[in-house]
Amino acid sequence: MSAKPGWRTLTRGGVITKPRSSREFLTGDWRTKKPILQESKCTNCLFCWLWCPEPAILRGPKTVSFDYNYCKGCGICSVECPVHAITMVEEA
Amino acid sequence: MVTLKELQVEELLGPGHRLCMGCGAGIIARMTLKALTRPAIVVNATGCLEVATTIYPYTAWGVPWVHGLFENNSAIASGIETIVKANNGGKMDRDVIVFGGDGATFDIGLQALSGAFERRHDFVYVCYDNEAYMNTGIQRSGATPEGAWTTTTPVGAASPGKVGPKKDLIAIGVAHHIDYAATASTAYWSDFITKMQKAAAVEGPALIHAISPCPLGWRFPTDQTIQMGRLAVQTRYFPLYEVERGKYKLSVNPHPKPLDDFIKMQGRFKHLFQPQYADELNALRREVEQRWNALQELCQGKTPTW
Amino acid sequence: MSKMQKPELVAMTGSEAVAKAVIQSNVDFISAYPITPQTIIVERLSDLVATGETKSKFINVESEHSALSACVGASLAGGRVFTATSSQGLALMHEVLYLTSGLRCPIVMAVANRALSAPINIHGDHSDMMGSRDCGWIQLYAENGQEAYDWVIQAYAIAEDERVSLPFTVNMDGYVVTHSVEPIALIEDSVVGKFLPTRHPQIKLDNQNPITFGALALPDFYSEFKRQQEEAMRMTPEVFTEVTKDFTQLTGRHYDRMVPYELEDAKVGIVSLGSVSGTVRWVAKNLRKKGLPVGALKISLYRPFPHEEVSKLLENLDVLVVLERSLSPGSHCGPLASDIVCSLYNRSEQPRVLDVVAGLGGRDLSPESIEQIYRTGLEATKTTGLEMEFVGVRE
């Protein structure tokens, strides 16, 4: 039985004092398809990063990469990539 | 004009929220926060964006954030803005951003919006318009377009979907003589960022009306969200324009694609292609055409009639 | 006491006194919407803000729902906040009342108690506040202008105490308290300033510490937050006692959660809220001179209700009359009587309770009618039981 905190220890009035605490909630298990990047094609244009609703795409020095902990597999990145560097594959 | 690389890396709306896959609202909120150059305080009405991002004990927000009720985001913002100004010698040293869906903005929260505009509070109201009360399960709102299926304007022998055009939110803002009001689509990212920055720079109220394609409510595949936002503009369904101190200016003048390219991709309009709903399909086409023509007249400084 | 000077007595209406108290309390933000009979409060506040002598900011909003909502925003941004309303306005902001207490904003609001429409009636009764009595606010009923003035000041001290952190209504009978001119003993600005230091909340909207307010609490969390609110209500009497004690030291005026009058050997007692309590005491005093064993109890703090103390004071009466200035249609008794009877339930001694509904819609509760109520009580047979009746209502 998970021990959820009682009223004495919970924050007053339901405030959440830790910014971006949702990082503890991994939405990656929502997806049925997974984006795979062909790094050699990536031009680092950043459109996928801009348009990811989560965001589950990380900026890197040469290319982007995916944060599969959160990626819900919507596929926007794959459709919008101007050089078709991203393919959606069925999750195993 | 800012480049994508210049946009801040820090995610002020972080992952782990429960917005649907491919949600247009999440993209709007993320891009809004990326556009801002000052710290932001966010006031969020009840709706998809609010509920999915703040389920206790998790919050996806990295900025001070408050959710009050459904219809009072503009009023809450008025109180915050007054205190921020009072603490800073009468000036704003940060941006107050108010998010509301179309339900919260066009309908239940219109009064509070009007009051906040009239009092000239310094804030940016960002309406993410997915054209229905999506959070409660796709019910029609004052922003639902002609002919759209929703659960409260279902399609049947006696009903072709929602009857009547959507309200003109920008006109409502302009009627209050606010300095800046603009439509936006995340698909046109540079226009979106520029407009958000212009809105934030206004010393007074500003309004951004952003189209928020909804895969679940509009019934399209989750990977088409940006494409929907693009087609909406290209088919003149959702024209991109801005109004600066009453002067209308078109932002994007697309070589128009047929409206059908947009509506045939969405399950909520599917029924319109059946012969018995031909009148309703024409009503939608007329609505879009009249909206576009009226906008042209406004851009030329004329007053449209209908 | 060397601290206290002879108080400066100024003739002012209850509304003007409240406005003065608000400004003296160094309120940062006021937002209000006009409604009779609260209007003088907001007009007076506008005047005082317009002089430029105060740092309070006043915004004129487009409805009461927005008035309290703007107050919530300002309170969360760290300000000390005030608003005032009445009747329809209070009813309109009903959902915001729950928002305020749920978010634990220590806002002080003056309510000019007035009947609720329909029919529309602009005069005093308690149906407005009673209609929202479960909203989680601390609720205090002022008997007169002096109390209203003193209570606005003390309300901030109680509300902002970290053990409480609840919003607070100061109720004042519409027209009778808001509009009557009385001599008010004012406290000096600097003395109020020392009594009420600037508000410095730890938890607020602050870019250095980004906090999320108003999250969704699913069934696995909601109850715990409500329990927290109840705890704050339970802590309130302790804070109330501390604050009123400090206040007495400054002003010489004593405040308690309820005020008994000649109840020790009374056979018949009248319990009341608000301005009629003064009339009741005056009538009781005169009847006592005639040897009649009558007493009175004024309830000042209605929420949290002082159950223990009230039941001890009333249990030995033969007949207890509750003067009810509101109605809970279809109920066996009105709201005040239900709280009183609830208090008495655990006692072995139970007076007979007559719940007298009177004074609705501003109908005057004259000394003669109060005397008549006492006499009815004295003639009533001592049995147990609870009855409700309308008094002074034409058949």
Residue in A16, A50, A75 nearest the CB of B222? A75
* B16, B61, B63 ranked by CB distance to A70: nearest: B16
Over residues C327-373, the pLDDT tens digits come to 999 999 999 999 999 999 988 888 999 999 999 999 999 999 999 99
Partner-chain contact A10 C224, CB within 8 Å: yes
Determine the Cα–Cα distance for residues B197 and B275; give it in Å rounded to an integer. 46
Ramachandran sector of residue C214 (left: φ over 0; alpha: ψ -120 to 50; beta: rest)? left
Mean pLDDT (chain B, rounded): 97
Predicted local distance difference test score (pLDDT) of residue C1: 42
User: What local confidence, expressed as pLDDT, does residue C4 receive?
Assistant: 58
Smallest Cα–Cα separation from B267: which of B209, B200, B215? Answer: B215
Query: Three-state DSSP class for C12?
Result: strand
- pLDDT tens, residue by residue, B13-38: 999 999 999 999 999 999 999 999 99
| pLDDT for A2 | 60
Q: Token digits for A37?
A: 């990047």
Average pLDDT score over residue span C206-227 = 97
Residue C94 and residue C135: Cα distance in Å, rounded? 8
Question: How far is residue C274's CA from residue C127's CA, in Å, rounded to a whole number?
Answer: 13
Which residue of chain C comes nearest to A18, CA vs CA? C211
The pair of three-digit structure tokens given for residue B102, joined into one six-digit string: 């179309």
- Closest-CA residue of B relative to C94 is B69
List the CATH code of the domain at B4-299.
3.40.50.970
Tell me the pLDDT tens digit for each residue of C269-321. 999 999 999 999 999 999 999 999 999 999 999 999 999 999 999 989 999 99
pLDDT tens series, chain A, 92 aa? 468 999 999 999 999 999 999 999 999 999 999 999 999 999 999 999 999 999 999 999 999 999 999 999 999 999 999 999 999 999 87
- The pLDDT, as a whole number, for residue C53 is 80
Chain A contact present for C382, CB below 8 A: no
Contacts of B226 in chain A (CB under 8 A): 51, 76, 79-80
Nearest chain A residue to C211, by CA: A17
The answer to whether C163 and C212 have CB atoms below 8 angstroms apart is no
CB contact under 8 A, B111 and C73: no
- What burial class does residue C274 get, using C-beta atoms within 10 Å of its C-beta: 0-12 exposed, 13-18 middle, 19+ buried? buried
Question: Closest Cα partner for A14 from B198, C218, B220, B266?
Answer: C218
Q: What is the ipTM of this complex?
A: 0.96
CA C272 to CA C266: how far, in whole Å?
A: 16
Per-residue DSSP letters for C70-136? HHHHHHHTT--EEEEE-HHHHHHTHHHHHHHHHTT---EEEEEE-PPSSSP--S--SHHHHHTTTSS
Instruction: Tell me the CA distances in angstroms from C69 to A2, A34, C299, one per residue in order.
Output: 37, 44, 30
pLDDT number for residue A92: 74
Which tokens sit at C140? Answer: 């205090």
Asked if C206 and B83 count as a contact pair (C-beta separation under 8 A), the reply is: no
Percent of chain B with pLDDT over 90: 97
Residue C143 has pLDDT above 70, yes or no: yes
Residue ranges of alpha helices (H) inside chain B are 24-35, 48-53, 73-86, 102, 110-118, 169-175, 189-201, 215-218, 225-234, 259-263, 278-299
Residue of C nearest to B111 (CA): C62
Q: Could you read off the pLDDT of B280-292 as tens digits, one per residue?
A: 999 999 999 999 9
pLDDT grade, residue C2 (50/70/90)?
very low
For residue C1, with 0-12 CB atoms within 10 Å meaning exposed, 13-18 middle and 19 or more buried, which class applies?
A: exposed
**Pairs of residues, one from chain A and one from chain B, whose beta carbons lie less than 8 Å apart:** 112
SS3 C242: helix
A4 touches chain B (CB under 8 A): no
Q: Is residue B230 within 8 Å of residue B71, measured between CB atoms?
A: no
Residues in A closer than 8 angstroms to C228, CB to CB, are 7, 10, 12-13
**pLDDT tens, B154-165?**
999 999 999 999
What is the Cα–Cα distance from C279 to C359, expressed in whole angstroms?
Answer: 13
Q: What's the one-letter identity of residue C135?
A: C
Torsion sign across C-alpha atoms B135, B141, B142, B146: positive
Using one digit for the tens of pLDDT, what is the confidence trace for B57-83? 999 999 999 999 999 999 999 999 999
Alpha-carbon dihedral sign for residues B112, B113, B119, B124: positive
- Pairwise CA distance, residues C150 & C143, whole Å: 11
User: Could you tell me if A33 and A75 are in contact, meaning their C-beta atoms sit under 8 angstroms apart?
Assistant: yes
pTM for this entry = 0.96
The answer for B 58-77 residues in CB contact with A (under 8 A) is: 58-63
pLDDT, one tens digit per residue, over C162-191 is 999 999 999 999 999 999 999 999 999 999
Residue A79 token pair:
């459709």
Q: Is the dihedral of CA A15, A21, A24, A26 positive or negative?
A: positive
Map residue C192 onto helix, strand or coil. Answer: helix
Cβ within 8 Å, pair A21-B59: yes
**CB of C211 within 8 A of CB of B67?**
no
Q: What is the mean pLDDT of chain C?
A: 95
Per-residue confidence (pLDDT) for residue B280, from 0 to 100: 95
- The one-letter amino acid code at C162 reads E
Interior angle at CA B69, CA A55 and CA C55, nearest 5: 100
Q: Are C4 and C250 contacting, i.e. CB atoms less than 8 angstroms apart?
A: yes
Q: Which pLDDT tens digit goes with each residue over C59-91?
A: 999 999 999 999 999 999 999 999 999 999 999
A1 min Cα distance to partner chain B (Å) = 18
How distant, in Å, are the alpha carbons of B181, B250, C323 from that of B291?
17, 13, 63
Please indicate if any CB of chain B lies within 8 Å of the CB of C78: yes
The DSSP element (H or E) to which C293 belongs, if any, is none
- What kind and span of H or E run contains C226? helix C222-251
Residue B225 has pLDDT above 90, yes or no: yes
Inter-CA distances, C275 with A87, B224, C16, C144, Å:
76, 66, 17, 6
Q: Which helix (H) or strand (E) holds C266?
A: none
Cross-chain residue pair A22–B223, CB shorter than 8 Å = no
Specify the pLDDT at position C5.
62
Query: Could you write out the three-class secondary structure of B185-240?
Result: ECCCHHHHHHHHHHHHHCCCCEEEEEECCCHHHHCCCHHHHHHHHHHHHHCCCCCC
pLDDT given for residue C112 in this prediction: 98
Report DSSP letters for C42-58, one per residue: HHHHHHHHHTT-S--EE
Q: Where are the domains of chain B?
A: 4-299
B249-282 pLDDT tens trace: 999 999 999 999 999 999 999 999 999 999 999 9
Most distant CA atoms of chain A, gap in Å: 55
Helices assigned H by DSSP within C264-381 = 276-289, 307-314, 335-344, 367-379
